[in-house]
Structure 1
């Protein structure tokens, strides 16, 4: 495994860990504010904390250009048109995905929501077929193993589709599209800038719904400061940025497999942080999930 690919794997794995623990923050935050308010504040916060990072990285890049004698020419990755289009599209898909997820969770169980959301691991390679991006047999085997692991990990009841389940299913499709869009733009634009724009745009769209359908109060937002800060700074600002950077040069199907570990982490977080016990069925599900990820990492190859 190359050093670059190892770095991408680590960034995507950290993303999955942060997202997995974020389920606790999302649940706690909803005790104080509505889903649109929660999403609006977390996304805007995520974008704001990235602004100084953008300035710092841009300044560092300009210094490197001067050393290389190329300061007069703007690099391809900073083209404003690609950056703006990519940020708006990614931001819109994030807005739709997170909104459907937050609303859908209110009408279904967290376990079923986690399982259905993670179905993007099968949706991503299916979408890849239409984009002439073929996944090898080993990847499809990994996806099937991961799906079985997810089922054992998250599902304890029937597979009947309720209103909330349907919303989460649409959310899963949107997350898969988001992964594909990120894969398209990561080779063209700066990851940090792209992430910053997508958060600010997603936060702006969520703010519209917040004022239309909810009555936000600063006191309620202040009471939920801890889960909002975690969801905004870590889950949004850090994790989604790591996703964008980590996906550069990584096959989107493999990336989705790594990111799906958030379901495993959410169960482990409940065990470690909340004292919840793990059943043998859940342990087997975790083992299968990790096994699927390891199988996908053996001699990974970017599919064109």
Structure 2
């Protein structure tokens, strides 16, 4: 793997393509988690996924382990606790609702990041984000009023998952420094696996038999949306703007919905579909508007520079 400090330039098109690929793999995690939990209980699936991911990441990091120090372990563990909370809510949420609904609800993290930053650090909450939150609330109301069960327990846990995802993103920006991203990622995965081990020790261990579909689902979730996606995100997101990256990540629930409809046979009522589309609009709309404003400012700066020549 290339070192994270590689300076060779990457084109905008390649960075965009790689980030879109990460959304495809993240979307697939909803499908394979749902399939895997047909054989493996949610808590055990959560533990096995990150135990395998931590083991594989540890193997990858063998040449780097001499650089592992107390500060990296401490910071990685702090971020890992947030990641553990998010993924615990993820498996419990997906186990209780459709992957179509869970994908859109998880994507609310884009709105929760500025909201949590405002609540805890008094960072300014702009009108664009406030408008997105208002549209998202309308979308949640449509989801709650659509479907046989309305806004059920799985939906609630998927929404809480989005809060924890936002917390993990904020933790990364506020806690991590110039650490080796591979070592930090290894510590994060190991922390999540340790939390999973503790949870499964405390909770009753139900009897289950893991077949081929459960095993392959675990392998997919440990490797593709975990190890590979983290690596691609760390390698390519720095070559685009945060706004553009956020807009690309809104594709994630679209892939999960397509997988739910065409592979699992899930069906959304018109109200559910309207709620999902409103949530997508609430998330993607503010990002698209910010991207437009960024590009407009760049054009104005170029015009000003040209006029001064």
CA distance in 1, matches of 2:254, 2:18: 17
CA distances 1:70-104 after superposition (whole Å, capped 9, x unpaired): xxxx9xxx673442122212221121111122223
- 2:261, 2:157 → 1: CA distance? 27
Max radius of gyration: which structure? 2
Q: CA–CA distance in 2 between the matches of 1:151 and 1:131?
A: 26
Q: How does 1:48-59 map to 2 (within 5 A)?
A: 48-55=55-62, 58=64
1:285 aligns with 2:277: yes
* CA distance 1:83–1:170, change in 2 (3 Å): same
User: 2:25 is matched with which residue: 18, 28, 37?
Assistant: 18
CA distance in 2, matches of 1:175, 1:101: 10
What's the TM-score, normalizing by structure 1? 0.71
When the two chains are superposed, the root-mean-square deviation of aligned CA atoms in Å is 4.2
> Where do 5+ consecutive residues of structure 1 fail to align?
60-73
**Deviation at residue 204 of structure 1 after TM alignment:** 1.7
1:107–1:165: 8 Å Cα contact kept in structure 2? Answer: yes
Residue 166 of structure 1 pairs with residue 156 of structure 2:
yes
User: 78, 92, 97: which one pairs with 1:103?
Assistant: 92
Long gaps (5+) in structure 2: 1-8, 298-309
Which whole-Å deviations, capped at 9, do the CAs of 1:41-95 have from their partners, x for residues lacking one?
1111112222333246x49xxxxxxxxxxxxxx9xxx673442122212221121
- Specify which of 189, 210, 227 is matched with residue 220 of structure 1: 210
Structure 2 CA distance for partners of 1:198 and 1:88, relative to 1, 3 Å: same
My pick for the range that moved more, 143-152 or 167-176, is 143-152
Deviations 1:222-260 (A, max 9, x none): 651111111111111112343445555877676555433
Question: How has the CA–CA distance of structure 1 residues 3 and 17 changed in structure 2, closer, same or farther, with 3 Å as cutoff?
Answer: same
Residues 192 and 272 of structure 1, relative CA distance in 2, 3 Å threshold: farther
Change (3 A) 1:188 1:7: farther
**Contact kept in structure 1, 2:24 and 2:252, CA below 8 Å:** yes
- In the alignment of these two chains, the number of paired residues is 281
Q: Specify which of 230, 236, 244 is matched with residue 240 of structure 1.
A: 230
> Could you tell me which residue of structure 1 aligns to residue 105 of structure 2?
116
